[in-house]
Amino acid sequence: MTIPLAPIIGLIASPAINKSITGVLAGDLQAPMRWLPNLVGVWADGSFHMDTLMANMTPIAAGLLVHKFIGGWPLNLNRTLGAARVPFLRI
C-alpha cells in the first residue's frame, strides 16, 4: 500500500476542503455539508462563482499533474522510490 503525496497535498490545499477539515477537527460535524458544495463553485445561496471553482480546483489539478509527470513517465520518481524500498511514500 502506498500513499500518493502530491494529490493528497493538492486536495488539502483546496480552501473548501481545508475549511471542512478544520470544522470537523473543531467539533462541527456539519462543516463538510456547508463547504463541499463550495468546492465546485456553488455558494450557500445556490449561485455559481467561477473564481471560487478555480480557487478550489487549481491546487487539486496541480497535485494531480505533479503526481502524473514527476511520479510517472518523464522522471519515474515513484519507480525510484519503490526500488529504494521506501515504504508507503509515493509522489
pLDDT in tens, 18-65: 999 999 999 999 999 999 999 999 998 999 999 999 999 999 999 999
Counted domains in the chain: 1
Q: Provide the β-strand partners of residue 72.
A: none
Phi, psi (degrees; rounded to nearest 5) at 84? -85, 5
Q: Which pTM was predicted?
A: 0.86
State the Cα–Cα distance between residues 61 and 44, nearest whole angstrom: 24
State the Cα–Cα distance between residues 18 and 32, nearest whole angstrom: 10
pLDDT value at position 33?
A: 94
Domain that holds residue 63: 3-90
- Retrieve residue 38's grid coordinates: 463550495
Provide the H-helix boundaries in the chain: 5-13, 15-25, 31-39, 50-69, 77-83
